Structure 1
Amino acid sequence: MSIYGDNCPLVLSPRQVDDLHSDTGVAILDASWFMPNSPRRPREEFLQKRIHGARFLDLDEVASPHDLGLKHMMPDPETFAKACENFGISPSSHVVIYDTHGVFSSPRALFMFRSFGHHRSSILNGGLPAWEAHGCPVESGESLPPAKGVYPPPKLDETVIRGYEQMVANSNLDPAGEPSAEIVIDARPQGRYHGSDPEPRPGLSSGHIPHSLSLPFTTFLDTHTVERSDGSTGTYTTLRTAAGIHEGLLSALGPEYTKEVLSGKRSIVASCGSGMTAGVLWLGLKTLGVDNVGLYDESWTGYASRKDSPILKTL
């Protein structure tokens, strides 16, 4: 069992994860994922370099099928439980999740675990690049399969997931005039939110859901420069401090909405391109102690794929 017991932090530093590394109750997962137009291949990179003992979590595989063919949708309880068993994870395991960007797709994986009630779960702040920058060990090659675990299908907290109909109904409400309206924050870059830049998925319109607010996921992140072994430089991201996250939230929502969200008076929903980087906004809000935060699972890809969806552009 983890040294943190049932009170596992949402975010751990490389040194904290290194201290846990020899704990037999800790399972480490690489949940790296890249945009559809990226030439990078996460599974291949996993074989080339990973944290010792890590397993590869493919969020597109551990997912439920969708009528529109959308990827990495929240899995059903049986799919989630089977994946955990294959990773050697039990309900008492402390699951530590990382990605190779730093902080990008790991929060989405953490959202999945926490939504199924697996609160012994955390992300590695800064991911694999931060792990290496702190001199922690890595390995490569094929990994040995873990001993299969036992994981009964858990219950999904459906209150944290939003569907299309809920988003459309909420978009018909004006948050400024109706306290029942949820605040929707959009994690995509501002150009895509405003409709001036194209979506990375061909044929999909850019723009935004009526009454939603732009809050690019990078607002909650800090970027660091690291020198690679070949002499070149690269960058990676970490989650900002609580003060930095609060500052970013305030800049997007304004003081009144920020106060309502932090006090729990009004709930908030994170959306993005496909439900991946919305996890960064979810994580940032959770670190501020916000309980009433949900995630639009389909996000913009599902919303804009439906021809009747109202889309706003502010060109």
Structure 2
Amino acid sequence: MYFPSSLITTAQLQKEYEKPNVILLDCTIDKVGQSLKDAQLALIPNSLFFDIENTFSDHSSPLPHTLVSTEIFTKGIQELGINQNSIIILYDRWGVYSSPRAWWMFKVMDFEQVYVLDGGLPAWQEKHEPIADQYIKPLAKGNGEARFNRAWYADKDYILTQYQNSGTRIIDARSQARFTASAPEPRAGLRRGHIPYSSNLSFDLVLEGNNYRSKEELKKLFETFNATHEQIFSCGSGVTASILAFASHLIGNQNIKVYDGSWSEWGQEDLDLPIAQ
């Protein structure tokens, strides 16, 4: 492992970001009701854009942010100049929001040397490090190749076989109000509630401002979820679920999956899947 943890600090990045085998990816996407598209572009120097919304989402699916095929993922990362031995560092301009989603995508595609910058761009700016206003262009096409690793992935059919299993914990990253059906869903056409037998851990609880909480604090948050159990993380569209999945990974849990469709799929009225409130 290139770094001692999958979560790296600005000080660690400052020493590494100019090295030729380091690939620095801005993974920013819009939040629900919030966008940075009209803001002046501010980046860590040497950044490439990992376009989750377009290049790396399956637009043949009606669901948001659905994972693409290995062929499309391979083509996309090769165009970014990513090699099989690249050191991949991910960040986003919000702080910590979509970078863990990108981390999970790379893990599903069987890449090992993948890291998330704690605090993202705001943490970099707080240290008065240099800022760029445009992305760099890859020097050459990469040779990185995706291989689907099902150990990290859950879909609707898998959830249906596991949600009543006492050895599986489904952990929902949505707010408690959405989990308990006391608040409406932000996307139209979705029922309220949660997957039966699932638990709620709102994603913002693992964060303190723009950063992840300490490992000791994370362990306390996860102590009710037996580490020997399989953990499947869900949310609205698979983004904030990845924030929890990464937090669980940081404290040593290894049997981790993200439900790619999440509530955008499970809550659909026409699917009539089992729901608890």
* TM-score bracket for the superposition, by shorter chain length: over 0.9
Matched-pair contact (CA < 8 Å) for 2:206–2:213: yes
Within the alignment, does 1:149 sit opposite 2:141 as a pair? yes
Q: Greater helix share, 1 or 2?
A: 1
Within the alignment, does 1:80 sit opposite 2:66 as a pair? no
The residue number in structure 1 matching 2:13 is 17
Rate the CA distance shift 1:35–1:163 in 2: closer, same or farther, 3 A: same
Rate the CA distance shift 1:66–1:139 in 2: closer, same or farther, 3 A: closer
The residue number in structure 2 matching 1:119 is 112
The residue number in structure 2 matching 1:90 is 83
Tell me the amino acid that sits aligned with residue 310 of structure 1.
P
Q: What per-residue deviation string (whole Å, max 9, x for no partner) do you get for residues 88-125 of structure 1?
A: 11111111100122111100101111222211110110
- The structural deviation recorded for 1:35 is 2.6
The residue number in structure 1 matching 2:215 is 242
- The structural deviation recorded for 1:64 is 5.1
Runs of 4+ in structure 1 over 6 Å off: none
The residue number in structure 2 matching 1:311 is 275
The residue number in structure 1 matching 2:94 is 101
State the percentage of identical aligned residues.
28
SS at match of 2:137: coil
Q: What per-residue deviation string (whole Å, max 9, x for no partner) do you get for residues 57-79 of structure 1?
A: 11122335366511222221111
Tell me the amino acid that sits aligned with residue 311 of structure 1.
I
Unaligned stretches of 5+ residues in structure 2: none
SS at match of 2:90: strand
SS at match of 1:166: helix
Task: Number of aligned residue pairs: give it.
Answer: 276
Within the alignment, does 1:289 sit opposite 2:252 as a pair? yes
Tell me the amino acid that sits aligned with residue 247 of structure 2.
G
**Larger CA Rg, structure 1 vs 2:** 1
- The structural deviation recorded for 1:311 is 1.7
Rate the CA distance shift 1:59–1:8 in 2: closer, same or farther, 3 A: farther
Matched-pair contact (CA < 8 Å) for 2:55–2:76: yes
Determine which of 205, 211, 214 is the counterpart of 1:219. Answer: 205
The TM-score with structure 1 as length reference comes to: 0.82
Partners of 2:59 and 2:42 lie apart in 1 by 32
Determine which of 233, 236, 242 is the counterpart of 1:270. Answer: 233
Rate the CA distance shift 1:55–1:116 in 2: closer, same or farther, 3 A: same
